[in-house]
Amino acid sequence: MKSRQSALFIHRFICYSVMVILFVLAVVPIYLLLINATRSTAQINEGLSLIPGNNIAYNWNALTRRGFKIQQGFYNSVYLAFWMTLFGVYFSAMTAYGLHVYRFIGRRFLWGLILLVMMLPSSLSFIGFYQFMARIKLTDNYLALIIPTIASAGTVLFLRQYLSSILSMELVDAARIDGAGEIRTFNTIVLPIITPALATQAIFSFVGSWNNFFTPFVLLSTESKATLPMLVQKLRGDIYRTEYGGIYLGIAVSIIPILIFYAFMSRYIISGITMGGVKE
**What is the rounded distance in angstroms from the CA atom of residue 186 to the CA atom of residue 194?**
11
Among 38, 55, 201, 254, binds other proteins (CB under 8 A): 254
Among 67, 112, 188, 214, binds other proteins (CB under 8 A): 214
> Residue 190 interacts with other proteins (CB under 8 A)?
no
Segment 16 to 45, residues that bind other proteins, using CB under 8 A? 16, 18-19, 22-23, 25-27, 29-30, 32-33, 36, 44-45
| Segment interacting with other proteins (CB under 8 A) among 50-58, 78-86, 111-119, 161-169 | 111-119
**What is the rounded distance in angstroms from the CA atom of residue 241 to the CA atom of residue 246?**
10
CB of 116 to other proteins, least distance (A): 11
> Residue 83 interacts with other proteins (CB under 8 A)?
no
**What is the rounded distance in angstroms from the CA atom of residue 149 to the CA atom of residue 46?**
47
> Residue 125 interacts with other proteins (CB under 8 A)?
yes
> Residue 127 interacts with other proteins (CB under 8 A)?
yes
**What is the rounded distance in angstroms from the CA atom of residue 64 to the CA atom of residue 73?**
12
Contact 62, 246 (CB under 8 A): yes
> Residue 251 interacts with other proteins (CB under 8 A)?
yes
Give the CA dihedral 146, 144, 141, 230, nearest 10 degrees.
Answer: 80
> Residue 270 interacts with other proteins (CB under 8 A)?
yes
> Residue 50 interacts with other proteins (CB under 8 A)?
no
Among 104, 165, 177, 224, binds other proteins (CB under 8 A): 104
**What is the rounded distance in angstroms from the CA atom of residue 6 to the CA atom of residue 68?**
58
Cα 38 to its chain centre, rounded Å, is 27
